[in-house]
Amino acid sequence: MIAVHTAQQVREAEQAFFAANPGVDLMQRAADGLAEAVENFLEGRGPGVDGARLLVAVGPGNNGGDALFAAARLARLGCRVELWATHGDAHEAGLAEAQAAGCQQIDAGQATTALAEADLLLDGVLGIGGRPGLDAPVATLAREARDLGIPVVAVDLPSGLDADSSTPAEESFHATLTVTFGALKPCHVLQPAASRCGEVRLVDIGLELGEPWALAAAPGDIAQRWPLPGPTSDKYSRGVVGIDTGSVHYPGAAVLGTVGALHAGAGMIRFCGPGPADGLIRAALPSVTHGEGRVQAWLVGSGWGDEPGDAERLAGRLADGLPTVVDADALRLLPDHLPAGCLLTPHAGELARLLDVEREEVTADPIGHARAAADRWQAVVLLKGATQYVVQPDGAVWLAVPGPHWSAQAGSGDVLAGICATLLAAGLDAARAALLGASVQAMAARRRPGPYPPDDIAREVPAVVGGFEVVR
Ligand SMILES: NC(=O)C1=CN([C@@H]2O[C@H](COP(=O)(O)OP(=O)(O)OC[C@H]3O[C@@H](n4cnc5c(N)ncnc54)[C@H](O)[C@@H]3O)[C@@H](O)[C@H]2O)[C@@H](O)CC1
Ligand SMILES: [K+]
């Protein structure tokens, strides 16, 4: 799992480092890592470092300082470097060093001309001390770089972003590569801000960071944690999933959830939903059984619509006291108390309704709202979207492996709820079920980028899971 820390946590670690190591200059470590990353980028992209033309946008703080010391190193390696101090002031020692190494200082007007001929724009305008958004001349440069297709390497984070927020300001740089120091910050991993960062490279500058703000899963984490069958496995030990989803109006959601549960490796599925879906599942998925019986976890809510008797339908399933995935329409009907080990799977709109707030409030602070729901219902919340947040009642946050943007389509959530129910039935706790379920669906979608329907992506899950056995 990859640790994510807030800007404040990084600042505190920096202060502690300076107190313990008074003679060490962290900016030089950052500049070393940054220069090396730019060098690799130029080598990988064709022009190479010798003779490459760099435009460096330098802000007033230490982010600009990092950029200036790195620029000096790159100039000494043969780059032709032009510097624009975007706010007049620039890190004094850094500027002196860059000029001594042969970097040329230019003004705003010259920066536009220099950009057109640059192989790369180094964005050292603002880092973790930046307020969101860009002043007009810098915003213009950022836009021109995009229009001209000039690659941007961002120092620490693309200027204009708030380090701690998933929501990007309208004006920011759009980086091809972001070179960050000490730790990943929320903007590097949370969509849609993360899409402004491009590839993210972390440079270790020796900071000692405490408890992370969140942990982000990588594919290897999922491979290590996925429950695989062994020589003593049978259908009961692998887990029996009870599915009570679908309605007269929405039978498809029930089919999709059942497809998801089956392709994630359920030992057995008992489908207990109403008529139309039951018939469709009988025809399409012959291994699914039908009717009541012993199960180890329930999946409820997907495709229920708004029917009289839904509250009783939910209460009846929760009365079993089993771990339950509560999805979609059942989220509107939550009682005050849920059995231990339940998983709520709202998207932003459903979470907003659950908490009686506007959807925009949830998208502005997804984690805060997911925490509020997890605390109120003492259940794990999987908040779905471009970033999938797994939030536990104690406030801990995990981030699932991200998927391609193609996954944003009707039916993905139904499949995901089915995958999670299989993992609950296999005995995983709700947080692990959510993390693994959301991640494996994303990994399956990554195998088939394109507008494939969610059931096609579900049918890709066995190949991903089969690969876990090989890795372990
Ligand atoms: N904290 C750390 O551990 C380390 C920080 N380093 C670098 O230092 C950076 C942080 O430096 P600073 O704290 O000096 O902050 P920044 O360099 O991010 O920016 C602060 C300056 O920009 C001005 N400013 C903020 N928002 C603005 C806006 N929207 N438009 C115009 N001006 C704005 C502020 O008034 C201040 O003068 C990091 O991002 C990183 O690049 C590295 O040198 C290594 C270690
Ligand atoms: K920056």
Three-class DSSP labels, the chain: CEEECCHHHHHHHHHHHHHHCCCCCHHHHHHHHHHHHHHHHHHHHCCCCCCCEEEEEECCCHHHHHHHHHHHHHHHCCCEEEEEECCCCCCHHHHHHHHHCCCEEECHHHHHHHHHHCCEEEEECCCCCCCCCCCHHHHHHHHHHHHHCCCEEEECCCCCCCCCCCCCCCCCCCCCEEEEECCECHHHHCCCHHHHCCEEEEECCCCCCCCCCEEECCHHHHHHHCCCCCCCCCHHHHCEEEEECCCCCCHHHHHHHHHHHHHCCCCEEEECCCHHHHHHHHHHCCCCEECCCCCCEEEECCCCCCCCCHHHHHHHHHCCCCCEEEEHHHHHHCCCCCCCCCEEECEHHHHHHHHCCCHHHHHHCHHHHHHHHHHHHCCEEEEECCCCEEECCCCCEEECCCCCHHHCCCCHHHHHHHHHHHHHHCCCCHHHHHHHHHHHHHHHHHHCCCCCCHHHHHCCHHHHHHHHHHHC
Q: Residues 213-234: what's their mean pLDDT?
A: 96
pLDDT band at 470 (very low <50, low <70, confident <90, very high): confident
Max CA separation in the chain (angstroms): 80
Q: What is the whole-number distance in angstroms between the Cα of residue 128 and the centre of ligand 2?
A: 8
What is the residue-averaged pLDDT of the chain? 96
**135-156 pLDDT, tens per residue?**
999 999 999 999 999 999 999 9
pLDDT band at 469 (very low <50, low <70, confident <90, very high): confident
Q: Residues 362-374: what's their mean pLDDT?
A: 97
The residues facing 338 across adjacent strands are none
Q: Residues 329-354: what's their mean pLDDT?
A: 97
Task: Indicate if the pLDDT at residue 285 is higher than 90.
Answer: yes
pLDDT band at 446 (very low <50, low <70, confident <90, very high): very high
pLDDT at 471: 80
- Ligand 1 pocket test, candidate residues 11, 29, 62, most atoms within 8 A of CB: 62
* Beta sheet of 152-155, edge-to-edge order: 104-106, 80-85, 53-58, 120-124, 152-155, 177-181, 199-203
pLDDT at 45: 86
Please tell me if the CB atom of residue 32 comes closer than 6 angstroms to any atom of ligand 1: no
**42-52 pLDDT, tens per residue?**
999 878 999 99
Nearest-ligand number for the alpha carbon of 123: 2
β-strands 397-399, 389-391 pairing: antiparallel
Q: What is the whole-number distance in angstroms between the Cα of residue 8 and the centre of ligand 1?
A: 12
Of 153, 170, 157, 189, which Cα lies nearest the Cα of 62? 157
Task: Indicate if the pLDDT at residue 424 is higher than 90.
Answer: yes
Q: Residues 457-471: what's their mean pLDDT?
A: 94
Distance separating alpha carbons of residues 392 and 464, to the nearest angstrom: 26
| CA atoms in the 13 A half-sphere facing the CB of 79 | 33
What is the number of the ligand 1 atom nearest to the C-alpha of 29? 44
Radius of gyration, alpha carbons of the chain? 26
Q: What is the whole-number distance in angstroms between the Cα of residue 30 and the centre of ligand 1?
A: 13
Prediction pTM value: 0.94
CB 324 within 8 Å of CB 271: no
Q: How many other β-carbons are positioned within 10 Å of the β-carbon of residue 68?
A: 30
**Length, in residues, of the chain:** 472
What is the number of the ligand 1 atom nearest to the C-alpha of 31? 43
Q: How many other β-carbons are positioned within 10 Å of the β-carbon of residue 93?
A: 12
pLDDT at 10: 98
Nearest-ligand number for the alpha carbon of 31: 1
Query: Is 253 within any annotated ligand binding site?
Result: yes
Q: Which residues contact 257 (CB under 8 A, 6 or more apart)?
A: 243, 245, 299, 302, 303, 327, 414, 415, 417, 418, 421
